[in-house]
Amino acid sequence: MLAKIYRPAKTAMQSGKAGARQWVLEFELASALKTESLMGWTSGADTNGQVRLKFDTKEQAIAFARENNIPHQVSEPAEAKRIPKAYGDNFSFRRREPWSH
């Protein structure tokens, strides 16, 4: 029963990062999901896959996993590289044209 600790990426539906500040602890599925033949629903016998705990900091999530003897793996988020741009740069004399090399 391995747990993943990670910080989720921001949603593609919004420009803000409000949901991406918390750290999440999720359990890996112990068994594969089964597809029900009549309706096509998926189900599994492992209910730990439904557990999703949120923490304010990475240290809190790790401390919780250690207190409860849960083996865990921490994934560090990749920080987005931001290039600051201004509208006035479109009209500057040093502007590099996209079609010229």
User: Does the pTM exceed 0.75?
Assistant: no
Helices (H), the chain: 58-67
**pLDDT on residue 100:** 55
| Distance of alpha carbon 66 from alpha carbon 90, whole angstroms | 53
**Strands 34-35, 42-43: parallel, antiparallel or unpaired by DSSP?**
antiparallel
Domain locations along the chain: 3-91
pLDDT, tens digit, 9 for 90 and up, residues 39-94 = 989 888 888 888 999 999 999 999 999 999 999 999 998 877 888 888 887 787 77
Confidence of residue 97 (pLDDT cuts 50, 70, 90): low
3-91: CATH class: alpha beta
